[in-house]
Chains A and B, each alone.
Chain A
Amino acid sequence: MLNMIPTEAASVPLVQEGTVGGNLVLHWLEGIAPEGLPGWLLPLVTAHVSVGIVVGMISLIAMSSVWLERKVSGHIQCRYGPMYAGGWHGWAQTIADGVKLLTKEDMVPLGADRPLFMMAPAIVLGAIFGAFVAMPLSPDFYFADLNLGLFFVLGMSALTTIGVVMSGWASNSKWSLYGSMREAAQVVAYEIPFGLSLLVPLIVAGTFNMREASAGQADFLGMGWYIFKNPFMVPAAIIFFIAMLAETKRAPFDLPEAESELVAGFLTEYSGIRWSFFFMEEYAAMFLMCLVGSVFFFGGFESPFTHFAGEWFGTGTFVYNVVAALTLITKSMFGVILMMWIRWTLPRVRIDQVMTMGYKYLTPLALLCVLGAAVWEAIF
């Protein structure tokens, strides 16, 4: 168990001995760097470039998810959604919104705790971006190959709650405080079934390393997904999905910003770019949770496409990695669309219903699933 201690700071990508690949940026930089540079320079540059790539990619995905959400909600309600900005089906709507939000005044309420108020969105966004650092996209496309990758991702994504509670307290508004307290209660309640439901694939996979967990599903032409490998995986996947909705405060669990009761929950006092940070965090968290879900339930970057790309072009080639990354992103986007579909289908549940569901239903069922999966793995 000693080698399962997490590697230190994730912002500096670590190349681990004995694993394939390493940080691609570092490899590339080592190839072109002149001789005689100080040893600390390349990892530092690598860290900055890697974080830049992660932030850029996640921002892009979050922005396109916002557009997608508006299109999905529109079509579910028999309308079109954005149609004008940018020409083709309003693809530039989010960019236009972003420019508008950027140019808005950065307002801080008079009675607010100014430093905390201004820090909260940064913490929320930073935590979720930090979580992405440990997410592998393909066997060779990753930034930090952590042995306890899942722990790191879950820890970082839970850190967003701190930012939300902070924003609610610092806003000096009853709506914000109610919203953030609900967020805290909800996240505490749902971390349990969330973690327990993830234990089931962990029992099957035998590793916390997300890249290895993904690669462990390559059998049966890339269709040896963990969800097919154990009868307790299906209920675990459903529990995971419900808990994921609550963790990312998506409807029907969007009580922290229940706009019909609390004005906008913890977002009430925020405007402009700080508000959009929270919004971006929501979509980034959706995508992150869907990535985790597809890695541990639905094959990760393994699929027949990846399998045949590996056969034709050879594993480890650039084409194979691109196919693998596209596979994982496509799976996650399916999850994101499913979350949107649920959001525009179900009404918001009450806070007592949320608590009942978390403690009385999901937690015992998740425990049963863990037990059953463990027994199944021990027997077969």
Chain B
Amino acid sequence: MVQATESTNTTGVGDYFKNIWDALATTVAGMKITGRYFFQKPITIQYPDEVMPIPDRYRGIHYLEQDKCIECHACERACPIDCIEMEAVRHGKELEWISFTVDYQKCMFCELCVYPCPADCIHMGTEFAFVTEDRSELNLDLLSYQGMSRDARIRMKEAAIKKAEKEAAKKAKAEAKAKAEADKAAEGGAATAGEGAQGADDAKADDAGEEPTDG
């Protein structure tokens, strides 16, 4: 069709029919191409239903391994725009988390918080969708729940049970020892004194054996 207008300046009869031929041929050629595309599978990815594969090193919303975190504030200090804040209460060796927030209004996903972490517990995740009705909702708490983690609770409970068992064992041994001493006092023989010393040694060894697992 483009050729058809260029013929306005030319007068040849051959040009006239060439224009007709060109218009038809180019139209058919174009329609072949679009027809091929028509029967090709669409390359669209229906986003909310299907998601494109996300590369492993994608820098999305942070992912925090709460159990490994030791509340050292290294990431907080490393953050160039101070968008990380954390707060926790210590219970002996366990941490009771109050908050670990990242303000994604400010965060620029530079990954600088990930490198200094001594416990290797903060990572960049693959989640990237930020749709909120209010900007304050963009200040995300990375703890999946408040307070202590489930694992920490289990660890604390196990430690408490072990401590109670140890104390019970100690108490039983002390009672046994007292009983043995009472027996010895009743018999009054020098030979039984050695047995009493033996029992005391055993109790000591038990204590030493339990101590490493204690905590």
Contacts and interface: CB of A to CB of B under 8 A. Distances in A.
Interface of A: 72, 74-80, 83, 238, 252, 341-342, 344-346, 349-350, 352-353, 356-357, 360-361, 365
B34 A341 contact: yes
B19 A361 contact: yes
B31 to A, nearest CB: 5
Interface in B19-58: 19-20, 23-24, 27, 30-31, 33-35, 37-40, 42-44, 46
Contact of B2 (A341, A353, A360): A353
B29 to A, nearest CB: 9
B168 to A, nearest CB: 66
Given A356-B8, A357-B4, A361-B4, A72 B42 contact: no
Nearest to A355: B5
A221 to B, nearest CB: 29
Contact of A346 (B1, B4, B46): B1
A299 to B, nearest CB: 23
A99 to B, nearest CB: 23
Contact of A341 (B24, B35, B46): B35
Contacts of B31: 341-342, 345
Nearest to A71: B38
A77 B43 CA distance: 9
Nearest to B27: A346
B1 A349 contact: yes
Contacts, number: 62
B10 to A, nearest CB: 12
Given A346-B1, A356-B4, A83 B38 contact: no
B37 A76 contact: yes
B34 to A, nearest CB: 4
Which 5 A/B pairs are nearest by Cβ-Cβ distance? A353-B5, A345-B34, A345-B30, A79-B44, A76-B34
Contacts of B46: 80, 83
A357 B16 CA distance: 11
Interface string B54-89: 000000000000000000000000000000000000
A357 B1 contact: yes
Given A353-B4, A361-B19, A77 B30 contact: no
A93 B5 CA distance: 40
Interface of B: 1-2, 4-5, 7-8, 16, 19-20, 23-24, 27, 30-31, 33-35, 37-40, 42-44, 46
A352 B39 CA distance: 35
Given A341-B31, A342-B31, A78 B4 contact: no
A361 B23 CA distance: 11
B38 A76 contact: yes
Most buried by B among A74, A79, A345, A356: A345
A350 B5 CA distance: 9
A342 B29 CA distance: 11
A87 to B, nearest CB: 13
Contacts of B43: 78-79
Contacts of A342: 27, 31
A344 B5 contact: no
A353 B7 CA distance: 10
12 contacts: A77-B37, A78-B37, A79-B43, A80-B42, A80-B44, A252-B1, A344-B34, A345-B34, A346-B27, A352-B8, A357-B1, A365-B20
A342 B24 CA distance: 12
B38 A75 contact: yes
Nearest to B2: A353
B44 to A, nearest CB: 5
